Amino acid sequence: MDDLQQAVTAALRQVVDPETGREIVSMGLIYGVTVQGGRVSITMTTTTRGCPLSEMLRQGAQAAVLGVAGVTQASVALTWDPLWTPDRIEVRAF
Amino acid sequence: MIGKQIARWTMAWFASALCCLIASLGFAAVGLAGPGGWAAGTAMATVHLFALGWLCQMMIGALIQFTPVLCARPLKMPGLSLPALLLTGLGTAMLAAGFLSMDGWVLGQNLLGLAPAVVVAGFGLTAVMLVPTLLAGQGLRQAEVRMVALALIALAGLWGTGTAMALTLAGYNLLPVFIPDALPLHVLLGTGGFLTLAAFGVSYKLFAMFLLAPDRDGPLRKAVFGMAALVVVLVLGLAGSILARGPRLPLGLLVAVAGAVTAGLYLVEMLRLWRSRHRLQTEVNMRWSRAAMICLAMSAALMVPTFRWGAAWAEAAMFLALVGWLSTLTLAQMVKIVSFLTWIQVFAPQIGRRPVPLVSDLTDARFAGRCLGLWATGVAGGTFAIAVGHPLLFQVSAMILLVAVLGLTRELLAIRRLRHLDPARLPDHLPPLVLPVPLRSSSDDHALPA
């Protein structure tokens, strides 16, 4: 994992799900991070498809990544395929 | 767009419902309703302020808020929420006042006759929002959506039986009905039908979210729906037979057994959900939802024996269902929902940009827990008072319930005003207490109201 990818992941770990108090990486909400030059593409999900927090978590993740030095463009897409399950939560997150 | 799935009038629905709850408990506390006196006009007014004004308005407000979460699509025609609220509130007030005609207030007769038309206008507008949202796409494939749809069918039956009785009591000969035959079906369609089934449906999704537990539509959930559908069909069939002046079918025991089995299966699934949770430290709303579940179990367990033990135990079982199961669940979850919606209104624009408080930081969980504990004490006292026929003990219990609700109302106000947060973290402007945040256009999506 290169430095920028690590910095992006670290930035995503600053985005906390206000309901559980855990950040979105350890919650298993991040499905993929792709870095090409300064452009970052993220695929993420929410714990349920109709979650009222979906759009604000997406925008929060985007804002956090745009704050990383070296990132020139960040796109964050929501997907529910596959659906999130609690098994995706990192061990010792709770 | 942030907040597009947040219903604008939820706080107003909750506020209207809370006013009805406080009024009904106040009336019970001064002795206007209680064991041995349920047939009085003041008692009927009190019961309907509680069941229709408090529980039905809370459930409708919650369904308008959470149906988009269940279906993962926006609510159809959300602009109907305010007129639905106004009509339901007005209908409740007219019905409660109308029942006073039973105590000799002549003007109340017209109110009693007209109230069902106003109530059905409110229910109808609610259905116009909810039904197309539930049925769109492949919604009915989801267990929680099916359960809410079944609850709405029971709501139609609740209104139908209630209308027949109200018109009969008001002296209109449009749909004459023998009240002692129709009343148990009306109570079942409301308590076990609309309110309980809607609570089942919403809880499937919300409890899995709050507990971080697997949300599985397995055989047990299908069995709950199948039994619930059987009960609703049986009760609607009985109601139809009575309204059509057909024979009285001896199906009461079958309904009671099927209802108790339905509740039992649901509780088994909730127990499995609880045990499979990833969130080991549960919050106050879920801790006190367990007390509600215990009341549901006790109420279901009493359903069959009441056929032998008589009316007092049937009334105690119904009190346990309305006040213990449905109201404890509603009050506990209301603390959470108000915190959650307030958080979205205030802090959503800041997520990912700066540290934000957690939803749980908005609540004094210890105080809310104490109020819910007091409420549970009132439930136990009220149930016992009804079972042994002790009006004074029932009044004392109603006072305890009233104090608990006033405490929870204070906590809800504190949540809305962010009083539990460090003043340094407060925003410049707080959202309105009850009314929605005014709509305004903005180039910054994060500035849009929730």
Quote the CA–CA distance of B446 and B349 in Å, as a whole number: 5
What value does the CA radius of gyration of chain A take, rounded to a whole number of Å?
Answer: 13
Q: What would the 3-class secondary structure string for chain A be? A: CCHHHHHHHHHHCCCECCCCCCECCCCCCEEEEEEECCEEEEEECCCCCCCCCHHHHHHHHHHHHHCCCCCCEEEEEECCCCCCCHHHCCCCCC
Q: Which residue of B has its CA nearest to A89?
A: B278
Residues of A with CB under 8 A from a CB of B: 14-16, 18-21, 47-57, 59-64, 67, 80, 85-86, 89, 94
- Reported as a single tens digit per residue, the pLDDT across B362-396 is 999 999 999 999 999 999 999 999 999 999 999 99
Sign of CA dihedral A6, A7, A12, A16: positive
Report the C-alpha gap between B422 and A67 in whole angstroms.
Answer: 26
Residue B52, pLDDT above cutoff 90: yes
**In chain B, % of residues over pLDDT 90:** 81
Q: Is the pLDDT of residue B448 over 90?
A: no
Closest CA to B273 of B176, B205, B178, B363: B205
- B430: which DSSP letter? P
Nearest-Å Rg of the Cα atoms of chain B is 21
The pLDDT tens digits for B119-158 are 999 999 999 999 999 999 888 889 999 999 999 999 999 9
* Contacts with A18 from chain B: Cβ below 8 Å: 343, 347, 351, 356-359
Amino acid at B298: M
pLDDT of residue B217: 85
Over residues B434-439, mean pLDDT: 83
pTM of the model: 0.94
Tens-digit pLDDT profile for residues B247-263: 777 888 899 999 999 99
- Arithmetic mean of pLDDT, B166-183: 90
Q: Can you give the residue ranges of every domain in chain A?
A: 3-79
CB A69 within 8 A of CB B362: no
Answer CATH for A3-79 from 3.30.565.10, 3.10.450.50, 3.30.300.130, 3.30.565.40: 3.30.300.130
* Percent over 70 (pLDDT), chain B: 96
Q: Are B51 and B25 in contact (CB under 8 A)?
A: no
- Residues of chain A contacting residue B351, judged by C-beta atoms under 8 Å apart: 15-16, 18, 56-57, 59-60, 63
Cβ contacts of A54 on chain B, cutoff 8 Å: 5
Q: Which amino acid is at A70?
A: G
Judged by a CB distance cut-off of 8 A, whether residue B229 touches chain A is no
Q: What is the pLDDT of residue B299?
A: 96
Q: Indicate the average pLDDT of chain B.
A: 93
Residue A44 in contact with residue A57, Cβ under 8 Å?
yes
Check CB contact of B136 with chain A, cutoff 8 Å. Answer: no
Pairing of strands A30-36, A39-44: antiparallel
pLDDT at B64: 97
In a mutagenesis test of the B interface, which of A22, A30, A59, A78 is the best target, namely the one with the most B β-carbons within 10 Å? A59
For chain A, percent of residues with pLDDT exceeding 70: 97
Answer yes or no: are the C-beta atoms of B119 and B92 closer than 8 Å. yes
| One-letter amino acid of B232 | V
Q: Report pLDDT digits (tens) over B267-319.
A: 999 999 999 999 999 999 999 999 999 999 999 999 888 877 778 899 999 99
Confidence (pLDDT) at B4 = 58
Size of interface A-B (CB pairs under 8 A): 91
Per-residue confidence (pLDDT) for residue B2, from 0 to 100:
47
| Strand, coil or helix: B251 | coil
Question: What DSSP line would sit under B129-172, residue for residue?
Answer: HHHHHHHSTTGGGSHHHHHHHHHHHHHHHHHHHHHHHHHHHTT-
Rounded CA-CA distance B224/B236 in Å is 18
Residue B91: CB atoms within 10 Å: 23
* Sequence-ordered list of residues with C-beta below 8 angstroms from that of B355, at least 6 positions apart, any chain: none
Q: Is the minimum CB–CB distance between B68 and chain A shorter than 8 Å? A: yes
Partners of residue A23 on adjacent β-strands: A16
Q: Which of B37, B51, B304, B58 is nearest to B158 (CA)?
A: B51
| B56 has a pLDDT exceeding 80 | yes
| Structural contact between residues B230 and B95, judged by C-beta atoms closer than 8 angstroms | no
B337 has a chain A CB within 8 A of its CB: no
For residues B160-179, average pLDDT: 91
Nearest to B325 by CA among B286, B284, B295, B369: B295
Task: Nearest by CB to B352, from A49, A54, A59: name it.
Answer: A59
What is the structure's pLDDT at B439? 66
The pLDDT value given to residue B128: 98
ipTM of the complex: 0.91
pLDDT at B444: 39
Q: Is B425 near chain A, with CB under 8 Å?
A: no
Tell whether the model's pLDDT for residue B244 goes beyond 50: yes
CA distances for B37 relative to B28, B42, B367, angstroms: 11, 9, 35
